[in-house]
Amino acid sequence: MIYSLILRVAVRLLVPLLLLFAMFMMLRGHNLPGGGFVGGLVAASAFVLYALAAGVTRAREVLYVDPQTLLGLGLACAYGAGLLALALGKPFLTGLWLHPHLPLIGDFHLGSALLFDLGVMLVVVGTVLLMVFSVEDRLPGLVEE
């Protein structure tokens, strides 16, 4: 944890922005550069920044679930996306598509690839935070009192 007023104030602005940007990166990744991995790194960096400003204990509280649980849930999403196809009698990991017509948005492509990407994102967030939190817990100078 770094005692800095500037960082604390800046983090309040940056964390929501980074999380929003992470979601944008993930959704954009379907056809353009981006995707779950990059999105996950950005989202993880938001929590890392928060941990630097407010301490790991506080960051863990804000994250609400353990990084390990995120990892597990991410894997479950990714496997689920593959197994969904299997359940419908198609080969494992076959892309499935829904085309619902939504009010205001119009035609909408919803694919199992999105679920997979979400899984990747959760796994990346979980992994990065697991590493950073456990290292930062032990770094001299960054330990909370």
Interface residues with another protein (CB under 8 A)?
Answer: 68-69, 71-73, 75-76, 79, 82-83, 85-86, 90-95
Q: Which residue lies nearer to another protein by CB, 41 or 82?
A: 82
Q: Which residue lies nearer to another protein by CB, 39 or 74?
A: 74
Q: Under a CB-based contact definition with an 8 Å cutoff, are residues 57 and 63 in contact?
A: no
Q: Where do the DSSP E strands lie in the chain? A: 97-98, 101-102, 106-107, 110-111
Quote the CA–CA distance of 103 and 74 in Å, as a whole number. 30
Q: Under a CB-based contact definition with an 8 Å cutoff, are residues 39 and 23 in contact?
A: yes
Q: Which residue lies nearer to another protein by CB, 57 or 68?
A: 68
For 29-66, where are the alpha helices, taking DSSP H only? 36-54, 56-63
State the nearest-atom distance from the C-beta of 109 to another protein, in Å.
17
Nearest to 19 by CA among 125, 113, 123: 125
State the nearest-atom distance from the C-beta of 5 to another protein, in Å.
38
Quote the CA–CA distance of 130 and 12 in Å, as a whole number. 22
Q: Which residue lies nearer to another protein by CB, 18 or 71?
A: 71
Q: Which residue lies nearer to another protein by CB, 21 or 79?
A: 79
